[in-house]
């Protein structure tokens, strides 16, 4: 399914993998799984996340199932290039919180022979494509869309519904603020507001 073999950096054969979906769909879990496999294969791995993502840990990427892997928090995507020297695999979590500069960073890493694995929300709570994710999806060699389970009807969910009335774009939270919904339940929930 994925090209998880050792990258020959001299050949410039890097690529970009994007893992996307709604909240609670397993994006970070899948990112951690791939990064741990790369480490098991003795590849040099670096993991990054936006500095604002501190829900579970300041210096770890943590899934909702409490799986974790050490990461480096960064203020901007350009810091990733500076900190990712001599690596074979770069992991980036919560990509939606970065600016569009992340697209250039991922391309630069891939062209230099690095396997880049990015995880992030494809849409914000309003159902609008989120941050650099649409551009990353279009340039990635591999895209995995994962789904949560709709909290109202039990079908596959791919929308993130905000339960609070806060209208700021970025509000960090868990099940107290967000729930995954299917298309029909998301539409019903948003017509009531």
Question: Which residues span the domain enclosing 120?
Answer: 9-146
Residue 147 has pLDDT above 90, yes or no: yes
Residue 184 lies in a domain: no
Q: For 69-118, what is each residue's pLDDT tens digit?
A: 678 899 999 999 999 989 999 999 999 999 999 999 999 999 999 999 99
CA distance linking residue 110 with residue 134, whole number of Å? 18
Residue 179 lies in a domain: no
pLDDT, residue 7, reads 44
Residue 156 lies in a domain: no
Residue 176 lies in a domain: no
Q: pTM for the complete prediction? A: 0.85
Residue 157 lies in a domain: no
Residue 55 has pLDDT above 90, yes or no: no
- What is the domain-level CATH number for residue 110? 3.40.50.300
Residue 133: band (very low, low, confident or very high) from pLDDT cuts 50, 70, 90:
very high
Residue 155 lies in a domain: no
* Number of domains making up the chain: 1
Catalytic residue numbers? 94
Q: Are 162 and 178 in contact (CB under 8 A)?
A: yes
């Amino acid at each position: 399914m994925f090209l998880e073999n050792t990258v020959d950096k001299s050949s410039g054969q890097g690529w970009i993998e994007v893992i996307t979906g709604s909240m609670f769909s397993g994006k970070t879990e899948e990112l951690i799984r791939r990064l741990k496999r790369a480490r098991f294969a003795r590849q040099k791995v670096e993991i990054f996340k936006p500095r604002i993502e501190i829900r579970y840990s300041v210096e770890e990427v943590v899934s909702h199932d409490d799986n974790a892997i050490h990461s480096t928090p960064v203020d901007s995507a350009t810091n990733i290039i500076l900190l990712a020297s001599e690596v074979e695999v770069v992991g980036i979590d919560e990509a939606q919180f970065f600016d569009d500069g992340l697209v250039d960073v991922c391309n630069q890493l891939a062209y230099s022979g690095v396997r880049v694995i990015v995880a992030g929300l494809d849409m914000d709570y309003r159902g609008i494509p989120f941050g650099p994710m649409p551009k990353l999806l279009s340039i990635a060699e591999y895209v995995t869309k994962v789904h949560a389970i709709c909290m109202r009807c039990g079908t596959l969910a791919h929308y993130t519904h905000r339960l609070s009335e806060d209208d700021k774009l970025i509000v960090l939270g868990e099940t107290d603020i967000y729930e995954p919904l299917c298309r029909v339940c998301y539409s019903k929930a948003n017509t009531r507001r």
